[in-house]
Structures are given as structure tokens and as C-alpha cells.
Structure 1
């Protein structure tokens, strides 16, 4: 049987980047540059970050439940938000209408790489970014309560800040 510490460590592999992608999308959403140039420049990267954040929160939940990393690279899971969400539901996640709404919204375009390789052949689905961010924030809260990892992203961010500061100091001395 896997310990709670190991469960948290396994789920953090997905939780930490999910949190970072979500927070980065918030920065982009609030950016004065985005507001001055309109949504055109940010629609693809914001959707990409938000869809990946959603995927990784779901994988974090499942990793805490004992799903192993190589399972997620299979065709059954991969970027398939419907399958990931179905398995989360089978493993105790709330069957929330808002969660289903965002899974449905992102499932096809995320699975089909629409936000990464835009060729203009399809119309991009649109939804209010603030609504999307609010729903994914709720999912993050749900996952955090389940796996108990909320302090870790701040710790990683602090460690990254220290690393970058040390690199900057080394570069200055050269």
C-alpha cells in the first residue's frame, strides 16, 4: 500500500504545473497589454494554458488515487478530458455541473491540439475567460482539499526564485 506522503508526491507531479499554468493564465488575463491589444493575441495561449491546467488537475487527482504515470500517456487518457474526468468521478470527485461544463468545453479542442496547432480550419469555441478561470479555480480547490498539496507550489516558487537569484549573482561575477 502506498503511503499518504507518496500519494501527495505522485499527485504533485501534476498539481504543481497545473497551478502554475492556471496562475500564468490569470497574469495574462489581467495584463494591460492584453487589454490594449484585444483578445486576438491571447486567445490561443490562454486556452492552451487553461486546458492543460484542467488536464493536470484531473491527473493529479488520479495520481493521488494510485494511477501511475505511464497510464496517463496511453491513448485512453492522454489529453482526453472526458476519460480523465470519468475516472475522477469513479474515484470520489464531485459530479459538479460547472466542472462538466468546462470539461465539455475543452474536451475536443484540447484532445485535437487546436490550441497548439491552429490552422484556421475550425472556428474556435469561445467562453468568457473569467468564467473559465473561476471554474478551474474551483477544481483546483477541490483537488487541493483531496490531495493536501496547497503549500507546495509556493515552496517550489520560492526555491525557483532562489535558484534564479543565485544564477543572476553568478552571471554578474563573471
Structure 2
């Protein structure tokens, strides 16, 4: 198969497996190893020891173990291990669990709820004060967590019902929450 055909085949398999319900991370990893095995397949390199054992008349146990060893003697496994260690050595990725932990602490302490309530009370004389309070709260919470989904979800649970109770238009209130999530 040519490279574009392999790419289309990979895309089709990816979509099919995702529609089956498998997680995307595991699907991408399995497809990377599977298609990498296909790309780096070299039978002369992989089963050289097995072929030598067959020529010398080794017993079936040694032949079987050498064949299995040859099966896993593909370069993709070396690349997989090297890439795993290079990702683990990346110092920038240590910030991800810290951002998650900070978002969890901020959410559990109700800091965002108190901030939104305080800002909406302080700015109640300004037209659209709840929208301004929601945008400011979204901006501050987004800098604390760094996760767009967390900001939109939490502000959707906190600010959206308050805005609807204050008789804001539904599309305007949801637009404010979405705009705040992109900050």
C-alpha cells in the first residue's frame, strides 16, 4: 500500500474504534504501535536468531522462544520506550497535575462562588453586572486552573442559574459563559 492509502486506512480504523467506545489515548497508542510495527517490519533482522536455530536443529522449546523473541525484536518497541522516557523527562509536564490540584482546591473551597457573588453585588449598579462578574470570575479562574472545560462547567453551574434568575436572556447568558471559558 502507498502512504496515502495507509493514512486513510489508519483514519478509518481510528474512527471505527472511537465509535466502538474505546478511549482516544489508548486507541492512538495502540494504533501507533500497530502501524509502527508494520512500518518497521524487517523479517531478516527480527528472526535471524530463529533461522539460525532452525538450521542447527534446535529443539522446539528453543525455536519457540526464539520466534517469540524475534516477534518482539521490532524497532517500534525501542522507539516506544525511548519516547516514553523522553516524555517523562519533560519538566514542563509537571505543571499538569499541579494545575488540576489547584483547580480542585479552588472548587472545593467555594472561592469561585464567593468571588462571583461578591463581584455581582459590588457591580450591581452597572448594567449587565452579572455578565461582567461572570467574565471577571472566568478570567481569574482560568488563570488558576488552565483548563477551559473546568471553567465553563463550573461557571455554567454557578453563574448561569443566577443570570437566568435575574432574567437575562438565555442565549446572552450562555454566550457570556462560553466567552468566559475561552479567556
Question: Fold conserved (TM > 0.5)?
Answer: no
TM-score by length of 1: 0.22
Taking structure 2 as the reference length, the TM-score comes to: 0.21
Whichever structure has more helix as a proportion of its residues is 2
The structure having more radius of gyration, on CA atoms, is 2
Higher-RCO chain (CA-CA 8 Å, sequence separation at least 6): 1
